[in-house]
Amino acid sequence: MTKRCKPPLLWLTQLFIGILPPSRFFPLKARLLSMSGVDIHATARLYSSVRIVTSGHLAIGADTFIGHQVLIGGGDASISIGSHCDIAPRVTILSGSHEIAVAGPKSAGKGNSKPIVIEDGVWIGAGSLILGGVRIGQRSVIGAGSVVVRDIPPHCVAVGSPCRAIRSIAVETGA
């Protein structure tokens, strides 16, 4: 069975983490989040201001850094952040949304949630928005302020709103 976040315990954990120094006690933060249902590697480093608001499965890989005021969640779909990723300040990773209501007084209809996969080695620039149903390929770079609404291939630089690949990153062949 897949480990799922426990929202009430996660909320209390983040309340405690929020009083810790922002860029210290990374192993303690990882351990506390693990006890709250987050599948997090012990070497992951999260700023104290990171907010996790999900009841789904959340996995954070080894040696991943998540910066100041990052928001992760917004639904019950799984979110997977690979190893060796760098997520800059004020990034929003949002798996939840709503269908458009065709009847009734509101435009926001029934809620839905789609999984997000951020593969190993990805760098996401400050202020970017990652929406549900996307996969960001291994070792890609997402430019600051980008809005990712569709899959991004591996080994590329992608920017804009909507985000699109603008160039490839040469992969070392070892030769």
Q: What pairs with residue 124 in β-bridges?
A: 87, 142
- Evaluate whether 56 touches 113 at the Cβ level (below 8 Å): yes
- Map tokens 């309340």 to a residue: 15
Spatial CA neighbour of 63 closest among 34, 86, 79:
86
User: What values do phi and psi take at 58, rounded to 5?
Assistant: -125, 120
Enclosing H/E stretch for 118: strand 116-118
What does DSSP assign to residue 27? Answer: H
The active-site residue out of 41, 57, 68, 98 is 98
Both tokens of 18, joined, read: 């929020």
CATH code given to domain 52-168? 2.160.10.10
Segments in the chain forming alpha helices (H) = 7-17, 26-35
Q: How many helices (H) and strands (E) does the chain have?
A: 2, 19
Query: 164-168 and 156-159: which strand pairing?
Result: antiparallel
What does DSSP assign to residue 112? Answer: E
Residue 52: how many other CB atoms lie within 10 Å:
26
Contacts of 72 (CB under 8 A, 6+ apart): 50, 51, 52, 53, 54, 58, 66, 79, 81, 93
Q: Is 41 known to be catalytic?
A: no
CA distance 160 to 21: 33
Q: What is the pLDDT of residue 172?
A: 67
Local confidence pLDDT in tens for the 175 residues of the chain: 567 778 888 889 999 999 999 999 999 999 999 999 999 999 999 999 999 998 899 999 999 999 999 999 988 999 999 999 999 999 999 999 999 998 889 999 899 999 999 999 999 999 999 999 999 999 999 999 999 999 999 999 999 999 999 999 987 654 3
